[in-house]
Amino acid sequence: MRIYSLFGLTLSLLSLSSATNVVHYPAKLTNLNNLTFVLNGTGAPGIFNSSITPDSEYGIYNWCNMPHVRTREYQTPSSDYTLKYIEVIQRHHKRTPYAPNTFFKEDITWDCTGEGPVYYGKGTVGVTRDPTVVQWSGYTNPENPFTNSVGPGFVGSNCAFPQITAGGINDSYTHGADLRSVYAQRLNLSTTLDTNTFKLRVTSNPITSQVSGGLLHGLFPDSSDVAVLIQADAFDSLSPSYSCPVADSIFTAYTTGSTNWTEHLVDGAELYEELDAVSGIAENDNAGWHTSFDHYYDNLSAKQCDSKPLPCSVNDTSLCISQPLADTVFRLGNYEYSYYYRDAFNSTLFSALSYGAWVLELVGHLKEQIAGTSEVKYFHNVAHDDSLGPLLGIMQISEMVWPGTGSEIVYELYEKSSSNSTSTSSNFFLRVLWGGQPMQTSLPLGTNSSGLLDMIPVEDFFAYVNNTIGTGPELFAACQM
């Protein structure tokens, strides 16, 4: 383990008597973060072309639809423990690519007829209670002289880039139904959502609300009108979008400012040549296509998850991106996420600063349950890959991946029967599930400090958070130092 230093100084979140030190416990070394294998190996690091994972393989990495809690694999704890509360945070489900990640002109179309995002306002009285549903459908007009200045992308498409696809909505529904199958009886959830016992939170990115519609239909099949929680972008902890200049500086220092990061970009120069020959992206591009493999990863994976072919050049249809080349991009994407949040020298500090606010909210929810001051039994958050990424960094997961669509972390709070408790602390225990199973971390927590977050005393988790993130005022001050 290490206490990191930056600019020659020991890293502490606040130079006060109550200062907290960020201790990094390295991730496991696997093919995912082995650059030699990433560049020279074969195969994709999981499933990239279907939302369906065979039951016999459920739990493996599926970028299109990550494993989550469901009845078939769920491990019920001893009857000594009673489930009191869960908090779920998940990434949205599969979508169209982001507009900046599309080629100037794509060789295929992408049709979203009848699948567009829904936007409209409503009120509480009279006609405002039941307005007409308004669904967006993208279009272009040749009379607009600026239309082609940004490229047609998918020519003539009526999609939003991004938007959750029909397949993503279906996956969202299944996700909600699977969660219901496990937790409805354990938490005494009705088929109708009770706002006193259940909360759902989204970000300002509309795709999280699009997922919520499908998810809630599976979770609460008799509810059709639900209010969800959202924080303002200026301080949203879920996205996250709150200002933390120190975190930004640390991230820049170990990515674009470090040869540890640029090494894989230099070594991948020939890959970029092959990809650029098909996409038409210029070698001297300044839109981020060559500062990471993120753009190509999003473009190719979104297409394959939606059963679309890998792209060919619009200028030479015989020149196409092969499956082995796409698989290499997928390996590189996972390598990059492992570096961002687990392998880089200061990644744990960055995660603590950039996502600490959400973790402090989680701790607050858990403490309310222990104190008996909240009726909420279930809190669900729909977020993004760059939400789960730093959260997995804070949790110091032993094997880091790029959180695929539908990725899920569940915090389960249990109370142990006092007659069977031997603990000198409270009778509350925490189990953290990743992909539906207890999370394996590099932390010195759990039985024999194994790092397995399976029924650990909740006070141990609180102590770790306090040592890593500190209090709210300490975190705020550390972000501005």
- Report the distance separating Cα 63 and Cα 46, nearest Å: 7
- Report the distance separating Cα 278 and Cα 282, nearest Å: 11
For residue 271, the one-letter residue type is L
pLDDT score for 244: 98
pLDDT score for 4: 38
pTM above 0.85, yes or no: yes
CB atoms within 10 A of CB 7: 7
CA distances in angstroms from 366 to 50, 207, 352, 369, 461, listed in the order given: 36, 28, 19, 5, 11
Cα angle, residue 456 at apex, residues 451 and 459 outer, rounded to 5°: 115
- In 3D, which of 263, 392, 274 has the Cα closest to residue 340? 392
Q: What values do phi and psi take at 379, rounded to 5?
A: -125, 125
- In 3D, which of 336, 277, 398 has the Cα closest to residue 38? 336
pLDDT score for 1: 39
> What is the tens place of the pLDDT at every residue in 207-257?
999 999 999 999 999 998 899 999 999 999 999 999 999 999 999 999 999
- In 3D, which of 296, 291, 301 has the Cα closest to residue 340? 291
pLDDT score for 116: 86
> What is the tens place of the pLDDT at every residue in 1-24?
333 334 333 444 343 223 458 999
pLDDT score for 151: 84
As averages over each run of 10 residues, the pLDDT of the chain (481 residues) reads 37 39 95 98 98 98 98 97 98 98 96 92 91 92 88 93 97 98 98 97 98 98 94 98 97 96 97 98 94 98 98 97 98 98 96 98 98 98 98 98 98 88 75 98 96 98 97 96 81
- Alpha-helical runs (H) found in 98-204: 166-187
CA distances in angstroms from 197 to 177, 311, 362, listed in the order given: 18, 47, 16
| Residue burial 258-279, b: 16+ Cβ < 10 Å; e: rest | eeebeebbeebeebbeebbebb
- Report the distance separating Cα 186 and Cα 195, nearest Å: 18
**Contact assessment for residue 326 and residue 233, using Cβ atoms and an 8 Å cutoff:** no
